Chains A and B, each alone.
Chain A
Amino acid sequence: MADASPQIRLPGRNALSGRPAITHANQDGGKPGLVIEELVHLGKLNIRGAADILPGITAQTGCQSLPENNRFVTIGERHLAWLGPDEYLLLCEAGREDEIQTRLRQDFEGIHAAVTNVTDGLCALGIRGGSVRKVLAKGCALDLHEEVFAAGQCAQSLLSHAGITLLATGETRFVLVCRTSFAPYVVDWLVDAALEYGVSYRT
């Protein structure tokens, strides 16, 4: 049986590979209120453990302290986000996640901790634009006011029917992480919700 889908490329496919770009113009003539891109350059590690994981975290990520509740810390291109009292999500350079996982596991020898590579199981989207908070508010019940959900804060919530993790990386930009199989729904939902502001999904 021959390959029927010409977009399939080896060796790897991202969550949204093969999905066409889409643009709805801003009817007011300005920039699109929302720009969506898959952040294919991010690897993802789920890290579990108490305060004693900090030395390992510091050694392998450069992070000097564990993020406080509902906050994330940024070291260069990396983000370490608080997900729960003993759970963190490390967004790191794609391709290095296996190596970082191995090193962390070595550093965590003897303490109760867990590191799990979830790079392919999660999809990270970069979403930005003047209307990004208004668009998110259509599907997320959290208070997204820029002073309440300020840059540096993160939270797990729902975007309509999909579970998401939101990292506010700026006043008008977020990293949105969802399970990979929900990514097409999330993008469809975002594109639809941003219709009134203009939207561009870029590949």
Chain B
Amino acid sequence: MGFFSKTPAPQIVRLATGGRVNRTKPLTFTFDGKTCQGFAGDTLASALLANNIHLVGRSFKYHRPRGIMAAGAEEPNALVRVGRGNLAEPNLRASQVELYDGLYAESQNRFPSLKADVGAVNSLMSRFFPAGFYYKTFMWPASMWMTYEHVIRRAAGLGRVADDHDDPDRYEKTNAHCDILIAGGGAAGLMAALAAARSGARVILADEQNEFGGWMLAEGDVTIEGGSPADWVAGIIAELAAMPDVTLLPRTTVFGYMDHNYLTLTERVTDHLAVRPSHLPRQRMWKVRARQVVLAQGAHERPLVFSGNDLPGVMLSGAVRTFINRYGVVPGNRCVVFTNNDDGYRTALSLQQGGAEAVIVDLRHEVRSALIKMAKEAGICIMTGHAVTIASGTQRIARVEISPVNEDATRVLDDPVHMDCDLLAMSGGLSPAVHLHSQARGKLAWDEELLCFKPKSVHEACFNAGACNGVFGLAKAMADGLKAGAAAVRACGLDAGDHLPPVVTAPPQNWRPMPAWKIPNGQPEGEGPKAFVDFQNDVTASDVKLAVREGYQSVEHVKRYTTLGMATDQGKTSNINGLAILADALGDEIPNVGTTTFRMPYTPANFGAIAGRDIGNLFDPTRLTRMDDWHRAHGATFEHVGQWMRAWYYPQTGESMQEAVNREVLAARTTAGLLDASTLGKIDIQGPDAAEFLNRIYTNGWLKLGIGKCRYGLMLKDDGMVMDDGVTTRLGENHFHMTTTTGGAAGVLDWLEEWQQTEWPDLKVYLTSVTEEWSVATLSGPNASKILKAAGIDISLDPADFPFMSMQDAHIAGLPVRIFRISFTGELSFEINIRARHGLALWQLLMNAGRDHGITPYGTEAMHVLRAEKGFIIVGQETDGSVTPHDLGMDWIVSKTKPDFIGKRALARASMSDDNRKQLVGLVTRDRKRVIPEGAHAVLEPNQPMPMEMLGQVTSSYYSPNVGGSIAMAMLKGGRSLKGGTVYLPMLDGDMIEADVVDPIFFDPNGDRING
């Protein structure tokens, strides 16, 4: 049979005219070290094909040679690594990488080179790598799994991430709102956008390609309004671009569709530029909230599952047409078009017009279509009722076997004929891209005629249009897009107007494919060359059938067992073929088998864009006090307390941390210490019911607190567990100033607001955060009064005039201050509050005034030691949300007489007074120099076998220079009954620390020092 001419014409790869490439702008790029030429408007895929490069990668499992199969997002094979060094990005689909001058790309998953890949030995061993081979082979012996896994993951895998993980590119995020978001700017999407925009709606139109137009740009045989589709698209885009409320986003993939019409998009802002301006992000993630959504994502063509269908040079029919008509690249000279529907005929005609020879192998026995007539008239050889049973070649397709098959293409009827070729275009029908629809929980229905799943009902406020709605063909898709756009407009409450779709001419095409899911090869089941279903994961038809034989039934299980539909392409080309083969093996119908769950992202989304600018100093706010400049200038080290940075300790030259802390702790008890306490939470409480409100919030009584007096309070959650503590002061009859812990400030205010608004709305009380209104310097120690006097305070500090637990307004050097005589150290102590603008000035004044009185700035570490010496708890350190006041030995603060307070009922539960609850105790080590590590567990009997019976844990532990030894606080089961006894603290290194259980107070137990 003379299908092709005897002597092939010299191949013209790049056509002299036509397509969307700019032949006046040649670009140079590098692929696997080879310098190549392309044009502006090319993708890497079209440019590679223009250089007659078909072999572009090695497959996942068997390292089989693979080529470019598709022209868009569905490409499973041609995954490349683009860029160098830490700019490199792996797993990009060559069909989506826009060419730019200097582009540097490498193939993946090959060693040492693409053409001589040693991993290809896997292919020879393939009978040992069946479906589920991970699970079967390498789980035994379990101890070797780590080794196996390392080797397997290296051999079988996709691309390599950049060597240096510090990504130097800039990424951004932005929020956007619109009336109507349209995903996809092809025929349907453009019509929807037009309908939406003309109504005055706020519109975002996103398309993943560099130009709007979709498949329209790939067809050479259609006209719109009498002209080329590209001209029509240009006119529409110009109209849309002129509208202020229309946002056009080319190079933008809608990759996620979440609840409440919240969608995420990735815009590739500068990926296509040879020189990327540093002020622009490389990519930008859009977070869009849309009132209505129109999904116009189009459809993906399916491959045919025949032996050898994964060879380079085997491409999707529509992709071949795209390369010819959009990029002016004819990817082969002698082409077999293998089809089960009309689409192949258009491709054959395009090939012929591009100067190539084409033969059509049609699975259908009877074809009634205008297209077959056109092909015949063009002189193209057509073999109906035939199949390509086997394709062969080494690194590119070289030969096919074509056999006659029975009516339903399940059986080979006769010996094959052999045909040499360098390209095979296959068409297995279209699968609507229902990904976003399904992500948004839309339902699908199986279309028996078009043999595809298409949207049945939507869950969100959205409309499907065009090919992704199962409406194929240019004119119909445009009408459907217009309809969806108008419906979205009306759903927004706007006037949709009356628009007509443009006049279109296109070859009449029958879109119904013939069901033929696995093409027979004339050999028994499972024999002969492999027929791939999932090209990206090397899953064959036999693998799917094997999974069924091994008992798998659920499509989700089969996916995980065989890896069908996994990895970066998520089965865009493979899912339906896989489902159909699975259904056949199960003896069930395709709709009963169902699909796997569609999850975001539609195509891989870059983590950089998801992170955006939430990196470095913008990762999280750092809050500094108004005195921070001083701390920094004086060599403080800092620690994070929530978002705050607090001065930790102030080492002097040559001092270790322990030495610095010892010095600060000693000074606070011998001369004076100064602490920046500005970060404490402060809440201004006003209203006639303020005292009653506090009475319910705190465990102790507040109604009788005198004006100007301070009181310590403990607040519980409603489960009776300690939540926060602090000193609150009555500023006036109906006015209080509450302090909270630094870390608890925001949570406490929320807690108070919640109770006020939801439980006690009758209480007249208003709460306002004043944390940052005040800067606070805490002056502590025997010299505190002297220093304040030296600083020029204008009130008497005599304890008789200014007693402990009271507040006074005063001036220091003329600056108004509010002084609380409260103490977290047990020393004479003044918490001096000042308007924040003067915070630094206050600190400087006190430091200057204290120069001759031994004033020593101390940080949070010394503060911790000082309070531990006195046995004062820190909420969050001694407590962990499971500790009651009773556990802390603080029954004295829990009112027995108040009618109620938050947590009261919970405290009455019997288990709360269980003697074996963990209780706060002090620990002093026998070796007084030995400091127990915080978190250490205590046991009673040191020689018991493991696992040892734990008593509890050490919550605070320090060296105390004032005590002259180690001190610790611990929460131990039945702790108070252990006092006077000994516990042991086993260390990880086998050492055992011995400690005596004591009252949790180590210094000045009678509180004699509080007045200086």
A interface with B by C-beta (< 8 Å): 1, 3-5, 8, 10-14, 18, 24, 27, 46, 48-49, 86, 112-114, 116-122, 134, 137-145, 148, 160-162, 179-182, 184-185, 188-189, 192-193, 195-196
Contact = CB atoms under 8 A, between A and B. Distances in A.
Nearest to B172: A138
Q: Across chains A and B, which 10 residue pairs bring their CB atoms closest together, nearest first?
A: A4-B633, A12-B837, A121-B773, A181-B623, A114-B686, A120-B836, A185-B621, A114-B766, A121-B772, A48-B766
Contact of B175 (A112, A113, A114, A141): A141
A27 B633 contact: no
Contacts of A120: 772-774, 835-837
A179 B772 contact: yes
Interface of B: 172-177, 202, 277, 279-281, 287, 289, 613-614, 617-618, 620-626, 629-630, 633-634, 644, 684, 686-688, 764, 766, 768-774, 815, 835-841, 844, 847-848, 851
A24 B170 CA distance: 16
A174 B938 CA distance: 59
A181 B840 contact: no
Contacts of B687: 112, 114
Residues of B contacting A: mostly = mixed
A6 to B, nearest CB: 10
A186 to B, nearest CB: 8
B770 A182 contact: no
Given A8-B844, A11-B841, A120-B772, A189 B618 contact: yes
26 contacts: A1-B848, A8-B629, A11-B815, A11-B837, A12-B838, A112-B764, A112-B766, A116-B770, A119-B835, A121-B772, A138-B172, A138-B174, A138-B175, A138-B613, A148-B177, A160-B613, A161-B614, A162-B621, A181-B624, A181-B772, A185-B618, A189-B613, A189-B618, A193-B172, A195-B279, A196-B281
Given A48-B766, A121-B769, A180-B772, A188 B838 contact: no
A118 B768 contact: yes
Given A114-B687, A138-B172, A141-B175, A121 B624 contact: no
A97 B772 CA distance: 16
B765 to A, nearest CB: 9
B772 A185 contact: no
A160 B613 CA distance: 9
B237 to A, nearest CB: 21
A96 B1002 CA distance: 50
Nearest to B844: A3
Contacts of A8: 629, 840-841, 844
Contacts of A160: 613-614, 618
Given A12-B837, A120-B835, A1 B768 contact: no
Contacts of B848: 1
Given A24-B279, A139-B175, A160-B614, 16 more contacts: A48-B768, A112-B687, A114-B768, A116-B686, A119-B835, A120-B837, A121-B774, A134-B174, A137-B175, A138-B172, A138-B174, A142-B175, A182-B621, A192-B618, A196-B279, A196-B281
A168 to B, nearest CB: 15
Nearest to B620: A161
Contacts of A11: 815, 837-838, 841
Contacts of B836: 120-121, 180
Nearest to A180: B772
Of the candidates B176, B277, B851, the one having the most CB atoms from chain A within 10 angstroms of its own CB is B176
Contacts of A161: 614, 620-621
Contacts of B176: 137
B264 to A, nearest CB: 13
Nearest to B633: A4
A121 B771 contact: yes
A97 to B, nearest CB: 10
Contacts of B851: 1
A150 to B, nearest CB: 14
A144 B385 CA distance: 61
Contacts of B624: 181, 184
A11 B836 CA distance: 11
Nearest to A115: B686
A182 B202 CA distance: 34
A188 B617 contact: yes
Contacts of B614: 160-161
Contact of A143 (B177, B623, B835, B839): B177
Contact of A196 (B175, B280, B686): B280
A117 B768 CA distance: 10
B175 A140 contact: yes
B431 to A, nearest CB: 35
A12 B836 CA distance: 8
Contacts of A182: 621, 623
Nearest to B623: A181
Nearest to B851: A1
Nearest to B855: A1
A3 B289 CA distance: 52
Contacts of B617: 185, 188
B844 A181 contact: no
Contacts of B626: 13, 180
A185 B617 CA distance: 8
A160 B688 CA distance: 38
B633 to A, nearest CB: 3
B768 A5 contact: no
Given A118-B773, A185-B622, A112 B629 contact: no
Contacts of B613: 138, 160, 189, 192-193
Given A11-B815, A120-B835, A137-B174, A181 B770 contact: no
Nearest to B688: A112
Nearest to B625: A181
A181 B686 CA distance: 24
